[in-house]
Amino acid sequence: MFETAEARRVDNFGAGPAALPVAVLREVQNELVTYRQTGMSVLELGHRTSDYAEIQGEAKRRLQRLMGLSDDFEVLFLQGGASLQFAMVPLNFLDDGQTAAYALTGSWAKKAYQEGKLVGRVRVAADMADMGYRRIPHPEELTLDPADAYLHLTSNNTIVGSQWRDFPDGLDVPLVADMSSDILSRPVPVERFHLIYAGAQKNLGPAGLTVVILRKSWLEQATARRVIPTMLRYDTHLKGDSRYNTPPVFSIYVAGLVLQWLEEQGGLVAMARRNQEKAAVVYQAIDEGNNFYSGVVDADSRSDMNVTFRLPTEELEKKFLQEAKVAGLVGLGGHRSVGGCRASLYNAVTLDSCTRLAEFMTDFRKVNG
Ligand SMILES: Cc1ncc(COP(=O)(O)O)c(C=O)c1O
């Protein structure tokens, strides 16, 4: 007679903020009014309390374990989204007289590049725009210069739906990556990077938190250059243990629960296996149908996180999205800048959701193809 909250949940393929594990939502609910022995909600908990310090410390340790971070790296919990990192990276690491290189593999990569341009001298290491961002550049297509301050790349291109399968190795310059839409979805060779950043709202937790993983020795070399406002300096947050000012306490708490959930799922190797399986189910529904659906991205650059596809006409796309919504398959519209369809399959999206989407796609094709 009573429908449970779980039964009313849709299959959420939104690009972000995105699906969270139900087990995490339930744990938040359990603890919401009174968090453990504190006698208050996490929403009411001071950021200088030992209870909060424990929440933040635990979240950090779990992230370090999951990503296999050595002591060379520091983890910062910041705000301002990945978009603020577009500015903070060059502000802190692009000195006057230097040039920073950017691989332009999608709209977010371009935004990072344009923001860098506001701060200092930047150049393009590869520009895939002419190809409609349909693929990731091969290593030999990157123009590298050992004098560059860093090379910036976007590991997963959320809008077009492409993903770096491997990362440049043996670079002479520091490698910086925006991993907003695939952090923690697979193991990455962190030792190749000097800085990794990600907005939390896709794979890590609620909006309002940005995670920065920073090679400490790089920051030590980079301090005391141009005048940088206090809040935009990485060393402010490093010295302040991410509590120079009030951090997003609740978002960090929920991210901690997501990280715990990831550990319980078997870590990043297990997540990668599951994510590949999920993506394969949806890509198969795209590929099996005599070009009724067409993938936006070349096969070897396809993302496991954001599966993008078109239908023969925009009218059919509209119909597809409407009928999908009625079937409880939600958030499938492409980014407003490109249209089409996009299924975001972040960690918390289940294989069952993907299977239901693939079945819906097959049925829709049979009726409308
Ligand atoms: C790859 C990538 N970078 C940056 C951003 C911007 O993130 P934020 O909204 O946290 O500034 C997004 C948002 O979707 C993204 O997907």
For the stretch 28-83, pLDDT in tens is 999 999 999 999 999 999 999 999 999 999 999 999 999 999 999 999 999 999 99
Give the residue, out of 84, 180, 338, with the most ligand 1 atoms within 8 A of its beta carbon, to mutate for a pocket test.
180
Best of 77, 83, 305 for a ligand 1 pocket test (most atoms within 8 Å of beta carbon):
83
SS3 112: helix
Q: What is the reported pLDDT for 264?
A: 98
pLDDT of residue 213 exceeding 80, the answer is: yes
Q: Check residue 180 and give its pLDDT.
A: 98
Distance linking the first and last C-alpha atoms of the chain: 39
Give the pLDDT score at 1: 65
> Does ligand 1 lie within 6 Å of residue 105's CB atom?
no
Residues 155 and 219 in one domain: yes
Exactly one of 127, 178, 235, 304 is catalytic; name it. 178
169, two tokens: 């190795």
Residue 279 placed within a domain? yes
**Could you tell me if the CB of 164 is within 6 A of ligand 1?**
no
Percent of the chain residues topping a pLDDT of 90: 95
From atom 10 of ligand 1, which residue's Cα is the shortest distance away?
A: 81
Residues 211 and 351 in one domain: no
Distance CA 350, CA 79 (A): 28
Give buried/exposed letters for 96-107 (b at 16+ CB in 10 A, else e): eebbbbbbbbbb
CA of 199 to the centre of ligand 1 (A): 6
319 is catalytic: no
Closest atom, ligand 1, to C-alpha of 154: 1
Is residue 330 helix, strand or coil? strand
The answer for 177, left when phi > 0, alpha when psi is -120 to 50, beta otherwise, is beta
Domain holding 303, by residue range, is: 267-368
Q: Is the pLDDT of residue 225 over 80?
A: no
Q: How much is the pLDDT for 289?
A: 83
pLDDT in tens, 138-197: 989 999 999 999 999 999 999 999 999 999 999 999 999 999 999 999 999 999 999 999
CATH code, 174: 3.40.640.10
Whether residue 245 has pLDDT greater than 90 = yes
User: In this structure, are 255 and 185 located in the same domain?
Assistant: yes
Q: Left (φ > 0), alpha (ψ -120 to 50) or beta: where does 183 sit?
A: beta
pLDDT at 224 over 60: no
Q: What is the pLDDT of residue 2?
A: 75
The answer, yes or no, to whether any atom of ligand 1 lies below 6 A from the CB of 88, is no
Out of 220, 248, 264, pick the residue that ends a domain. 264
Q: Assess if residue 229 is contained within a domain.
A: yes
On the 0-12 / 13-18 / 19+ scale of CB atoms within 10 A, 231 is middle
Whether the predicted pLDDT of 111 surpasses 70: yes
Q: Which positions ≥6 away from 178 have C-beta within 8 Å?
A: 82, 85, 86, 108, 109, 112, 152, 153, 154, 155, 197, 198
Instruction: State the pairing for strand pair 329-330/11-12.
Output: parallel
The number of helix segments (H) and strand segments (E) in the chain equals: 10, 14
Indicate whether 114 belongs to any domain.
Answer: yes
Q: How many domains does the chain have?
A: 2
Query: Comparing C-alpha atoms, which of 260, 100, 114 is closest to residue 194?
Result: 100
Q: Is the pLDDT of residue 221 over 70?
A: yes
**pLDDT, tens digit (0-9, with 9 covering 90-100), for 318-360:** 999 999 999 999 999 999 999 999 999 999 999 999 999 999 9
CA gap 343, 161 in Å, rounded:
9
Measured CA angle at 60 (ends 56, 62), to 5 deg: 120
Which residue has a Cα nearest atom 15 of ligand 1? 180
Surface-to-core class of residue 19, CB atoms within 10 Å of its CB (0-12 exposed, 13-18 middle, 19+ buried) = buried
Candidate of 108, 133, 204, 308 to mutate for ligand 1, largest count of ligand atoms within 8 Å of Cβ: 108
* Each residue's pLDDT tens digit, 272-287: 999 999 999 999 999 9
The full DSSP string for 216-283 is HHHHHHH-SSS---GGG-HHHHHHTTT-SS---HHHHHHHHHHHHHHHHTTHHHHHHHHHHHHHHHHH
Query: From the CB of 16, is ligand 1 less than 6 Å away?
Result: yes
- Ligand 1, atom nearest to 16 Cα: 14
Do 239 and 295 belong to one domain?
no
Residues 6+ apart with CB under 8 A from 48: 243
Domain CATH for 337: 3.90.1150.10
* E strands, the chain, in order: 11-12, 73-78, 99-104, 121-127, 151-154, 156-157, 162-163, 175-178, 195-199, 210-215, 294-295, 306-310, 329-330, 341-344
Look up residue 44 and give its two tokens.
């009411």
- 233 with 271, same domain: the answer is no
**Residue in 193, 224, 186, 240 with CA at minimum distance from that of residue 93:** 224
Q: Is 108 a catalytic residue?
A: yes
Gap from CA of 197 to ligand 1 centroid (Å): 10
Q: What is the pLDDT of residues 6-17, one digit of tens each?
A: 999 999 999 999
CB atoms closer than 10 angstroms to residue 334 = 22
pLDDT value for 222: 82
* Same-domain status, 205 and 122: yes
Does 87 share its domain with 230?
Answer: yes
Domain boundary among 264, 289, 311: 264
Tell me, yes or no, whether 254 and 312 share the same domain: no
Q: Is 60 in the active site?
A: no
Least Cα distance to 307 among 275, 333, 283, 290 occurs for 283
The answer to whether residues 277 and 231 belong to one domain is no
CB-based burial label for 27 (10 Å; 0-12, 13-18, 19+): middle
Residues 257 and 274 in one domain: no
Cα 83 to ligand 1 centre (Å): 6
Ligand 1 centroid from CA 40, angstroms = 33
Q: Judge whether 8 lies within some domain.
A: no
If you average pLDDT over every residue of the chain, what do you get? Answer: 96
Distance (Å, whole) CA 125 – CA 271: 31
Ligand 1 mean position to 242 CA, how many Å? 21
Q: Is 110 exposed, middle or buried (0-12, 13-18, 19+ CB in 10 A)?
A: middle
210 alpha carbon – ligand 1 mean position (Å): 10
Q: What is the pLDDT of residue 226?
A: 81
